[in-house]
Amino acid sequence: MDKSRRHFLGLSAAALAGVSLIPTLTSCNGAQTAAPAAAPSDGKPNSNFAGVRMGTITYSWRSMPMNLENLIKYCREANVSYLELMGSDLEACLGAPENPTMRIMQAAMAAQAQQRPAGGAPGAAPGGQRPAGGPGGAPGGFRRPSFTPEQQAEIDKYNQDMANFRNNMDYGKVEEVRKRLESEGIYCPIVKTEPSRQTTEEGMDYAFKLAKAMGAVGVSDEMSMDAAQKVAPFAEKHDMYYILHNHMQYATEEWSAGPDPVLAVSPKIMLNFDSGHYFGSTGKHPVDFIKKYKDRIIHLHVKDKTGPNAEEPNANQVWGQGQTPLEDIFTYLRDEKVDIYPMIELEYNVKPWSNAVKEVATCVKYARQILM
């Protein structure tokens, strides 16, 4: 991590191209970056388009079964070379125990649906009253389900198994996963381990050590001042970046002036700027934000959305059907040679005749058509 962030990104591009560093472009701090990669001839993905390194967060493939071979398959099919790798997806590639929670919740919610009063709205409480809901509640307006003793025991066992899995992590095995991915032309500059969720120092250390073994420049998490203050000392300890992701914060009074207070906590704090959430909630042009904070942004989340004044405001759309100025974002990164990864975050509904991998591939092609 003694290399600058921009030099790190330049090295990643050179590794993808399979050539030594050929100085054709120079970033604003003087670090050399590599020439755009040639078209692949070996079946490996190549999403370096005119020097813009397109990628995706593996959250985009949350509906797909995850293991190492599947991850490689998805990257090949979608033509994705760069990943923001969800911590849970990385752990799945490392052989982590399968999490039963979603399966158990779905079964409990199905049982709850069968028990609701006849004629009541979905999720209706006895007497026709709507159950408590809101953010963090069970999806679809249902009450948060209660578990049978057997279901709770299965969840408790999983939690203990995961604790043992993490406490006994073989970081050499993590490096093997990294090398396997890199041999396939796939790079993981960011791992979303969300260290702010950890309650112990050991847990936060694990979040950074796991990402460092993958060769990542930093770990990503959800943005808050509390998270920044809690985790910044660990980012400094491990000499890695702590990369904070926004949802609709910039549309609130507290964050309307920008992220300067949270960035001031530590030079190791950087931004995962979600341009879609920003535009959808504020209506402001994302490129203006990127220009101002380009030296503190590691990667973008890119999605197409409607703006806040649309008939259906702040709604996810198929790329090209919303109002987010995607072309402006991509061409700015290309023309100004800005070393920021634009990462696809697939959030619009996928039709039954398609799947998440095909949709990410479509988004990659959309971006390539603009950039090349």
Domain boundaries, the chain: 40-94+169-371
C-alpha span between 334 and 235 (Å, rounded): 30
Say what the pTM is. Answer: 0.81
8 Å CB contact between 371 and 334: yes
Q: Is 80 exceeded by the pLDDT of residue 7?
A: no
Fold designation for 40-94+169-371 = TIM Barrel (3.20.20)
Q: What is the mean pLDDT of residues 341-362?
A: 97
CA distance 283 to 307: 5
Q: Which residue has the tokens 């779905």?
A: 106
**Using one digit for the tens of pLDDT, what is the confidence trace for 298-337?**
999 999 999 999 999 999 999 999 999 999 999 999 999 9
C-alpha–C-alpha distance, residues 294 and 305, integer Å: 22
- Please name the residues in contact with 346: beta carbons below 8 A apart, sequence gap of 6 or more: 56, 59, 60, 61, 303, 356, 359, 360, 363
Q: Per-residue pLDDT for 8 more than 90?
A: no
The count of residues in the chain is 372
pLDDT tens-place string over residues 32-77: 333 334 344 578 999 999 999 999 999 999 999 999 999 999 999 9
Beta strands per DSSP E along 35-166: 48-49, 52-53, 55-57, 82-86
